[in-house]
Structure 1
Amino acid sequence: MFPAIFCIAAILVINITHWLYKWWNPDCNGVLPPGSMGWPLLGETLHFFAPNTSSDIPPFVKERIHSNHMMSLVLFFRYGPIFKTSLVGRPVIVSTDADLNYFIFQQEGQLFESWYPSTFVEIFGRQNVGSLHGFMYKYLKNMVLNLFGPESLKKMLPDVEQASNIYLKRWSSQTMTEMKESTSKMIFDLTAKKLISYDVEKSSDNLRKNFKAFIKGLISFPLNIPGTAYHKCLQGRKKAMKMLKSMLQERRERPRKFQSDFFDYVLEELQRQDTILTESIGLDLMFVLLFASHETTSLALTLAMKFLSDHPLVLKELTEEHEAIIKKREIPDSGLTWNEYKSMKFTFQFINETVRLANIVPGIFRKALKDIKFKGHTIPAGWAVMVCPPAVHLNPAKYSNPLDFNPWRWEGVDTNGASRNFMAFGGGMRFCVGTDFTKVQMAIFLHCLVTKYKWQAIKGGDIVRTPGLQFPNGFHISLSEKNAQK
């Protein structure tokens, strides 16, 4: 009996040891980048999601790029700019190398394809635009450009300006305003109106409430147990999708004579005989657009307000640029024109510097379609690759004093599109199609703000990254009109 038990135990030990060896030493037809695969199954997930208050390169990445030890004032690399790890049970190559990042974006559809962890797919939907490839992705991209392209944005300027003025006026009547929540509501209401003609004042259902629950658990540890942030996130998505589906069905039953919003456009596409669009893809697209258009922009605007509060010289130059626009008009109170918007040179420098330091997107994921050799290392087929924008945006070799807020560093630099050293809006063929919409919202809001209002920071403004950007205590200000009677 004892020998049999001993043999079984020995076999188990051998199998477990072999499995552990395979986990820590994955198969590769070449040389894997250096790094650690962490704990079996768990990998280094806990460290990746650990909260930090730094505006610098995330500690998870920084500690793996180099050692903390100094010798003769020389910083010795630990793993270097490309390293391997494991996140949520998946082997991942992390890239902070500008050349590899550029190569990845340029080889979309050839050597790499868009990929996100299964937890993200559960959150955004299996048919979300980020998970689709080839012709289907290009088809959806063109649909979105129909809404967020330059011609549509020109027509949207008055609506964005009106919304900015209405909300700023409302906030000025309050003793204190929390900017993250307030800007999020402003942008969501505007975007939802444009996308699905959703009017929060007339609707009995609170669509944004479900998105708030969704956002809180978006970048959290993926544990789907009641009470966890991730579980609440999935529940928020489920309720939001149910509301969107109900709205779509209502629109089907009561069609409109003329196309007035994005829902109408989606319905027209669904009714075409040769369409490749399905209802589930259309709803997932609507969900992603509603999320992306308000959450990321509100974070950027809140940080922008904080930067303006902390840097009076920046506020002075920004104000002068916008007051000059008004002075050049024949009618000072006339609305912003497209030419005026395009003339906001310093504003675009300010926006670029804000999103460079915001690093709202901590990682951009792709998957290798075949074994790829790069700088002496091999990225195995099927492995995920995470491009790390913060490591690029905060690289002292590319940006002098990278943690300093300095919009003037963009003087003479193209502030449109992406480059090897700037990827706040992605890169390659998947460069964010909503970039211009984001810039329009930010620029017009800033125009209304600095020309008509003054403010004082009251409390909050601290940031936490988990790894996405958050304002745990908000950013509270007191806002008042410049020409208000004292």
Structure 2
Amino acid sequence: MEMWSLWLFLISFLIVSVTTWIYWWRNPSCNGRLPPGSMGLPLIGETFNFLVTSKSIDIHPFIKERMERYGPLFKTSLAGRSVVVSSDPDFNYFVLQQEDKLVELYYMDTFAKLVHKENVNEGGYLHKYLKRVLLSCIGPECLKEKLLSQSEEIINHELHEWTKQSEVEVKAQSAAMTHGFISKILMGCELENSEENLSEYFCSFLQRLLTFPLYIPGTDFYRCIKKQQKVLTLISQLLEERRKSYSQGCNNGDFLGQLVEGMGKEAFLTPEFVSNVIFGLLAATIDTISSAVTLAIKCVLDDPSALQQLTEEHEEILKKREGTNLGLSWEEYKSMTFTHYIR
């Protein structure tokens, strides 16, 4: 009888504990009022629904379904983290404007490990420092003085190469072009590996990284991390070469050069951190720019009136030029009102 009572007590305690845990999981505590939404299954949350791929160029089904159900602001749980997702432009703008005021930058655990625990509280300073250095390389003044002519030269060369091919895979070719251009901006040279197509790897990196994080041989996530380590090794080798050059008084002032210069002044600028920053920028820019170029070309080709207006705008610019061999000027770039609208 006593044994049955003990078992009954243990089972009851287990049921109450699990029920309480599930309740707190579905209703997380918050100092304010959380938006509507669903936390999904315990621990897993709605991760699997989020990872479902979509071939549509519309808003991802995961976001779209919840926008229709809960509105532009909703709560959910992804990869074991409770998050609030916003698709409201005004709210997003407000959040960005309140950085270091009402809003504090948050970095995932992997980033905290990357910059070491003692630097986590410097997150706002890290962001500002990297933003300042990056804008010195790709900001409006740099775009006006150097990048506009450089990008035109690369694009013209690439388009000329496309005319020699019977067919062109726009996403892959755009990724290769972007890889070469961005690499030279960040590091002064193109990152190359004779064994792999790095532009293709960077293009698929973010997609593979969003697979379920199982670090087990054979999974996409495992292969993604292994390739990441190889690329980081290449970047680390280049960084070491640049540090040696800097010690000998040579610095070309690009993004990597400025980080190398700051390594003796800022404690968080470790070789590991700098390599990961370069890797992250390459992965983010190559994938987003090549995707944007591909979608822009598709949408323009699907809309004859847009293609006609775009053609007329550029032909008008060419007619006003004094010489046919002149490159794109800053004034011409600013006058491309319809082109900027498409972009």
Q: Does 1:259 align with 2:259?
A: no
CA contact (8 A) 1:195 1:262 kept: yes
Q: Does 1:18 align with 2:8?
A: no
Residue by residue over 1:259-281, the C-alpha shift from the partner in whole angstroms, topping out at 9 and shown as x without a partner, is: 1533222222224x567633333
Unaligned runs of 5+ in 1: 67-77, 352-486
Q: Does 1:230 align with 2:216?
A: no
Unaligned runs of 5+ in 2: none
Aligned to 2:101: 110
Aligned to 1:268: 261
1:176-255 to 2 correspondences below 5 Å:
176-199=167-190, 204=194, 206=196, 207-208=198-199, 210-212=201-203, 214-255=205-246
| Secondary structure of the corresponding residue to residue 83 of structure 2 | strand
Aligned to 1:126: 114
CA contact (8 A) 1:36 1:85 kept: yes
Residue by residue over 1:59-102, the C-alpha shift from the partner in whole angstroms, topping out at 9 and shown as x without a partner, is: 32333333xxxxxxxxxxx4333322212112222233444333
- Give the letter for the 1:126 counterpart: L
Q: Does 1:170 align with 2:170?
A: no
Aligned to 1:316: 308
Q: Which one of 97, 100, 106 corresponds to residue 91 of structure 2?
A: 100
Q: Give the TM-score of the pair, scaled to structure 2.
A: 0.86
Aligned to 1:33: 35
Q: 1:59 to 1:157 in 2, by over 3 A?
A: closer
Aligned to 1:285: 277
Q: Does 1:81 align with 2:72?
A: yes
Aligned to 1:149: 139
- Give the letter for the 1:149 counterpart: G
Residue by residue over 1:98-147, the C-alpha shift from the partner in whole angstroms, topping out at 9 and shown as x without a partner, is: 4433332222222222335557x49xx8349x996322321211111111
Judge which range, 249-258 or 222-231, deviates more: 249-258
Q: 1:181 to 1:110 in 2, by over 3 A?
A: same
Q: Which one of 134, 146, 158 corresponds to residue 149 of structure 2?
A: 158
Q: Please, what is the CA RMSD of the aligned residues? A: 2.9
Q: Does 1:138 align with 2:128?
A: yes
Aligned to 1:63: 65
| Secondary structure of the corresponding residue to residue 224 of structure 1 | coil
Aligned to 1:361: none
Judge which range, 142-151 or 88-97, deviates more: 88-97
Residue by residue over 1:208-261, the C-alpha shift from the partner in whole angstroms, topping out at 9 and shown as x without a partner, is: 465356344133333332222222222222111111111111222344635153
- Give the letter for the 2:16 counterpart: I
Residue by residue over 1:188-218, the C-alpha shift from the partner in whole angstroms, topping out at 9 and shown as x without a partner, is: 01211232233468x6565546535634413
- Give the letter for the 2:335 counterpart: S
Higher strand share: 1
CA distance in 1, matches of 2:260, 2:208: 31
| Secondary structure of the corresponding residue to residue 75 of structure 2 | strand
Q: 1:298 to 1:98 in 2, by over 3 A?
A: closer
| Secondary structure of the corresponding residue to residue 227 of structure 1 | coil
CA distance in 1, matches of 2:295, 2:47: 27
- What is the aligned length? 335
Residue by residue over 1:322-360, the C-alpha shift from the partner in whole angstroms, topping out at 9 and shown as x without a partner, is: 111111111112111122112111110111xxxxxxxxx
**1:4 CA displacement:** 2.3
- Give the letter for the 1:338 counterpart: W
CA distance in 2, matches of 1:140, 1:94: 25
| Secondary structure of the corresponding residue to residue 53 of structure 2 | coil
Q: 1:275 to 1:126 in 2, by over 3 A?
A: closer
Residue by residue over 1:432-480, the C-alpha shift from the partner in whole angstroms, topping out at 9 and shown as x without a partner, is: xxxxxxxxxxxxxxxxxxxxxxxxxxxxxxxxxxxxxxxxxxxxxxxxx
- Give the letter for the 1:195 counterpart: L
- Give the letter for the 1:303 counterpart: L
Aligned to 1:306: 298
